[in-house]
Amino acid sequence: MSNEDEQGLDDWAAALAEQQSAEAAAMTQPAFGASPSIGSAADIFQRFDAEPQRPAGPAGIDMIMDIPVTMTVELGRTKIAIRSLLQLAQGSVVELEGLAGEPMDVLVNGTLIAQGEVVVVNDKFGIRLTDIITPAERVRRLHK
C-alpha cells in the first residue's frame, strides 16, 4: 500500500470518528430548537432518524378530504340494440331492469356505496340514503 493510500484511509477514519463523536454529542444535548446557542451541525438540522410525528386523524385522512369524486344515482339499466336506440324519439319509453319502488343504487366513481330512495327537495331531485354498503359487503359483491 502506498503512502497516499494510507493517508486516504486515515482521512476516512478521522471523518468517521468525527461523525460518531458528533452523533454521540447530539444524543446528550437538548432537542432541536431547545437551545438558543448553536453548537454542532447536529443541532442545526432536523433529525430524520427519529420516529415521525403521526397526524391526529386516522392515517392522515385530512390530506384527501378535498379530492373531488363523481357520485351517481342509478335509476336502472337496460341493454338495447343500436337499431332500437336510433328509433328513439321524444316521448319514447325505455323499459329499465329496476322495479318501481326498488331502492336506487348510489355509486362513487363507479363503486356501489349505498342505496336510497328518491326525494324532491325545493323542486330538485335528491336521494335519501337507506342502506350503506359495508366494506365487507363491497368485497363480497366483487367476487360474484
Q: How high is the pLDDT of residue 13?
A: 76
Pair (80, 29) in one structural domain: no
Residues 7-33 have a mean pLDDT of 68
Dihedral (Cα; 94, 99, 103, 109), 10-degree rounding: -40
Owning domain of residue 16: 1-65
Domain boundary residue among 45, 65, 85? 65
Pair (61, 85) in one structural domain: no
How many domains does one find in the chain?
A: 2
Pair (108, 52) in one structural domain: no
Between 8 and 99, residue with greater pLDDT: 99
Residue 79 cell numbers, joined? 341493454
What mean pLDDT value characterizes the chain? 78
DSSP H helices, the chain, are 3-28, 41-44, 82-86, 135-142
Q: How high is the pLDDT of residue 98?
A: 76
Pair (58, 83) in one structural domain: no
Res. 45: pLDDT tops 90: no
Domain boundary residue among 65, 80, 100? 65
Pair (78, 122) in one structural domain: yes
DSSP H helices, 29-104, are 41-44, 82-86
pLDDT band, very low/low/confident/very high, at 35 (cuts 50, 70, 90): very low
- What digits encode the pLDDT tens for the residues 71-112? 999 888 899 999 999 999 999 999 888 777 788 889 999 888
Pair (31, 12) in one structural domain: yes
Pair (112, 94) in one structural domain: yes
CATH of the domain at 98: 2.30.330.10
Res. 5: pLDDT tops 60: no
Non-local (6+) Cβ contacts of 113 within 8 A are 106, 107, 132, 133, 138
Pair (75, 138) in one structural domain: yes
Domain boundary residue among 28, 48, 65? 65
Pair (27, 74) in one structural domain: no
- What digits encode the pLDDT tens for the residues 15-25? 778 877 777 76
